[in-house]
Chains A and B, each alone.
Chain A
Amino acid sequence: MRFIFKTQYEQDISLLKHRGQLFWYGLLLAVLIAAPLFLDRFYLGEISFVFIYAIAGLGLMLLTGFTGQVSLGHAAFLAIGAYAHAYMLSKGLAFVVALPTAMILTGIVGAIVAIPALRLVGIYLAIATLAFLIIVEQIIIRWVSVTGGGRGMLVPPVEIFGLAVATPGRFFYLCLALLIVALIFVMNLLRAPSGRAMIAVRDSEIAARSMGINLAKTKATSFGISAALTGLAGALMAHHTGYISPEAFTLTISIQLLLLIVVGGLGSIHGAILGAIFVGFLPQGIALLRDTLPPAIGEVPGLEPGVFGLILILFLLFEPHGIYGQWLKVRQFFSEFPLYRRATNKRQKTYLRTERVR
Chain B
Amino acid sequence: MSFFRASNLCLSFGGIRAVQDVSFEVEKGEVFSIIGPNGAGKTTVFNLISQFYDLDSGSLHLGETDLGKLQAHDVANVGIARTFQNTELFEHETVLQNLLIGCHVNRRSGLFSELLHLPGARKQELEFRQTVEDVIDLVDLQAYRYQSIGSLSYGVRKMVEIARALCVKPRLLLLDEPASGLNPEETDDLSFWIEDISQDLGITVLMVEHDMSLVSRVSNRVLAMSEGKLITIGNPGEVQRHPEVLEAYLGQSEDAA
Q: Tell whether, in the assembled complex, residue B89 and residue A204 are in contact, meaning their CB atoms are under 8 Å apart.
A: yes
Chain B interface residue count: which class?
35 or more
Answer whether A211 and B84 are a contact pair too, CB < 8 Å, given A13-B125, A191-B117: no
A261 interfacial contact with B, CB 8 Å? no
Cβ–Cβ < 8 Å partners of A13 in chain B: 122, 125-126, 129
The verdict on B159 contacting chain A, using a C-beta distance below 8 Å, is no
**With A199-B90, A354-B86 in contact, do A10 and B117 touch (Cβ < 8 Å)?**
no
Contact at A210–B104, with CB atoms within 8 Å?
no
A196 within 8 A of B: yes
Q: Could you say which residues of chain A place their CB within 8 Å of the CB of B75?
A: 210, 212
A350 to B153, CA, bound (A): 10
A189-B90 CB under 8 A given contacts A196-B104, A199-B97: no
B111 lies within 8 A of A210 (CB): no
State whether the Cβ of B77 lies closer than 8 Å to any Cβ in chain A.
yes
A204 near B88: Cβ-Cβ < 8 Å = yes
Taking a contact as CB atoms under 8 Å apart, the answer to whether B81 and A213 are in contact is: no
Within 8 A of B (CB), among A161-219: 185, 188-189, 191-197, 199-200, 202-204, 206-215
User: Once bound together, how far apart are the Cα atoms of A28 and B150, in whole Å?
Assistant: 33
Q: Hey, which chain B residues are within 8 Å of A291, CB to CB?
A: none
Chain B contact residues, majority secondary structure: helix
Known: A206-B52, A211-B164, A348-B151. A189 touches B114 (CB 8 A): yes
Q: Which of B88, B101, B116 touches A188 (beta carbons < 8 Å)?
A: B116
Q: Is A207 in contact with B126, judged by CB distance below 8 angstroms? A: no
Establish whether residues A193 and B74, one from each chain, have CB atoms under 8 Å apart when the complex forms. Answer: no
Query: A351 an interface residue at 8 Å Cβ cutoff?
Result: yes
A193–B107 CB distance below 8 A: yes
- A348, B92: Cα distance in complex, Å: 12
Does B168 reach chain A (CB closer than 8 Å)? yes
In the complex, whether B102 has a CB less than 8 A from a CB of chain A is yes
| CB of B26 closer than 8 Å to a CB of A | no
What separation, in Å, do the CA atoms of A195 and B103 have in the docked complex? Answer: 13
Neighbour of A204 across the interface among B76, B90, B100, B122, CB < 8 A: B90
Q: Does any Cβ of A come within 8 Å of B134's Cβ?
A: no
Q: Assess whether A212 is in contact with B104, with CB atoms less than 8 Å apart.
A: yes
Contacts of B114 on A, CB cut-off 8 Å? Answer: 188-189, 192-195
Taken residue by residue from 317 to 358, chain A's Cβ proximity to chain B (1 for < 8 Å, 0 otherwise) reads as 000000000000000000000000000000010110111111
Chain B 36-65 interface mask (CB, 8 Å, partner A; 1/0): 000000011001001010000000000000
Given contacts A192-B121, A355-B85, A358-B85, contact A197 B104 (CB under 8 A): yes
Q: Which residue, of B73, B76, B91, B116, has the highest number of chain A Cβ atoms within 10 A?
A: B73
A12 within 8 Å of B (CB atoms): yes
Q: Are A351 and B104 in contact (CB under 8 A)?
A: no
The CA-CA distance from A267 to B148 in the complex, in Å, is 14
A48 at the interface (CB under 8 A from B): no
User: Known interface pairs A185-B115, A211-B104. Does A351 touch B126 (Cβ–Cβ under 8 Å)?
Assistant: no
* Chain A interface SS verdict (over half): helix
CB < 8 Å neighbour of A213 from B52, B73, B88, B129: B73
Roughly how many angstroms separate A189 CA and B133 CA in the complex, as a whole number?
A: 22
> In the bound complex, do residue B101 and residue A197 qualify as a contact, i.e. CB atoms below 8 Å apart?
yes
Q: Does A226 contact B (CB under 8 A)?
A: no
Given A13-B122, A350-B150; A207-B84 close (CB under 8 Å): yes
Q: Which residues of A contact B97 (CB under 8 A)?
A: 196, 199
| Contact indicator B126/A211 (Cβ below 8 Å) | no
- Bound-complex Cα distance A164 to B157 (A): 58
Q: Which residues of B contact A9 (CB under 8 A)?
A: 126, 129-130, 133
Interface centre among A10, A195, A212 (most CB of B within 10 A): A212
Given contacts A188-B116, A192-B117, A212-B168, contact A12 B96 (CB under 8 A): yes
Give per-residue flags for A32-75: 1 if the beta carbon is below 8 A from chain B beta carbons, else 0: 00000000000000000000000000000000000000000000
Q: Which residues of A contact B82 (CB under 8 A)?
A: 210
A355 close to B86 (CB less than 8 A) = yes
Is A221 an interface residue when CB atoms closer than 8 A count as contact?
yes
- Nearest chain A residue, comparing its CB with the CB of B181: A351
The answer to whether B6 has its CB under 8 Å from any CB of chain A is no
How far is A148 from B97 in the complex, measured between Cα atoms in Å? 49
Q: Which residue of B lies closest to A10 (CB)?
A: B126
**B90→A203 contact, CB < 8 A:** yes
* B238 beta carbon closer than 8 Å to chain A: no
Report the nearest B residue to A192, measured CB to CB. B114
A197 neighbours in B (Cβ, 8 Å): 101, 104
Q: Is the CB of B111 within 8 A of A221?
A: yes
Contact indicator A348/B150 (Cβ below 8 Å) = yes
How many angstroms between the C-alpha atoms of A137 and B5 in the bound complex?
Answer: 56
- The interface residues of chain B lying within 8 Å CB-to-CB of A358 are 43-44, 85
Pair A189/B115 contact, Cβ less than 8 Å? yes
With a cutoff of 8 Å between Cβ atoms, the chain B residues found around residue A188 in the complex are: 114-117, 121
A212 CA / B89 CA spacing, docked (Å):
15
CA distance A357 to B83 in the complex (A): 11
Residues of chain A with a CB closer than 8 A to B101's CB:
196-197, 199-200, 208, 211, 213
Across-interface contacts of A196 in B (CB, < 8 A): 97, 100-101, 104
14 CB contacts below 8 A, A to B, read A13-B125, A188-B114, A189-B115, A200-B104, A204-B88, A206-B88, A207-B90, A209-B52, A210-B72, A210-B88, A348-B151, A353-B86, A355-B85, A357-B52
What 9 new A-B contacts, CB under 8 Å, besides A213-B101, A353-B88?
A: A13-B125, A188-B114, A188-B116, A192-B117, A199-B93, A209-B73, A211-B101, A212-B74, A351-B86
Shortest Cβ-Cβ A-B pairs, 8 listed = A212-B76, A192-B114, A212-B105, A207-B88, A203-B90, A193-B107, A188-B117, A9-B129
